[in-house]
Amino acid sequence: MSQETAFKVVVPARYASTRLPGKPLLDLGGKPMVARVAERGVLSGAEEVWVATDHADVIAAAEQFGLSALLTRADHPTGTDRLAEVVELRGWSDDTIVVNVQGDEPLIDPALIAQTARQLAESGADIATVGHPIGDPADFFKPNVVKVVCRANGDAMYFSRAPIPFARDHFALEDGRESLPAGLPAYRHVGLYAYRARFLRAYAKLAPSALEQFEALEQLRALWHGFRISVVISDHLPIPGVDTPEDAVHMQAWFSQAGRA
């Protein structure tokens, strides 16, 4: 990298998870998950790393391991709204780059965090995020695998749970859905975001769009209102985070094995 990109990391950590209450405090090899995630942010080279939560126990857990934490409102509908509150609480300038590292991804690659921040700085976009090539046709047709289609300049055109771009002639074949045609620009969207603080200040005032409500994808609000989202294509698919009790068991086993090693 020719020049270091200055950026902050915020880890939104909502205590009242529907499927896994108290998720930020999940023990992973002797540390709470929120600390594991924030430490990945520290390793990324961020100027500052802040845990933003709605619960005093999460504040205490972060600070126990020397991490900075802020108590934010409990009624935020999304992590993006929580980031916007942090921008105001910290008084960051409009040009500040803020990376949202989701609080349930304790194995997120620090280099990818820095790369996403750099993508935002170099593209001049309002938001940067990550895409990864899809090679498995089963993934391409899964609604829970979000797809992104990009413009020539790398900006996102659209995100969808539907299989896009749709190879009409190939998929019309009898066995067409058992493979993807060569050269199909099919990309999985990875939910790591870098924002300019000015966008976060504007976000709370943006009216929701029908697109985001039907697709259940909040990033469509930004596209609907004309904001640019630049997509960095990563060769490596990030390790999945913790979304269910089963995920929690698997992640705890991973950290247990890593600790023994």
DSSP 195: E
Does this model's pTM top 0.85? My answer is yes
The residue extents of the domains of the chain are 7-132+188-255
Please report the pLDDT score of residue 239 as a whole number. 87
H/E stretch holding 39:
helix 33-43
For 7, the 3-state DSSP assignment is coil
Rounded distance between C-alpha atoms, residue 10 and residue 194, angstroms? 10
Q: Is 126 helix (H, G, I), strand (E, B) or coil?
A: coil
pLDDT of residue 3: 62
Alpha carbon distances (Å) from 94 to 4, 45, 90, 122, 127:
19, 21, 12, 16, 13
pLDDT digits (tens, 9 = 90+) for 14-57: 897 777 889 999 999 999 999 999 999 999 999 999 999 999 99
Distance spanning both ends of the chain, measured CA to CA? 33
Chain segment 227-241, per-residue pLDDT in tens: 999 999 999 888 888
How far apart are the C-alpha atoms of 82 and 5, rounded to whole Å? 23
Question: In which residue ranges of the chain is pLDDT below 50?
Answer: 1-2, 261
The CATH H-level (homologous superfamily) assignment of domain 7-132+188-255 is Spore Coat Polysaccharide Biosynthesis Protein SpsA; Chain A (3.90.550.10)
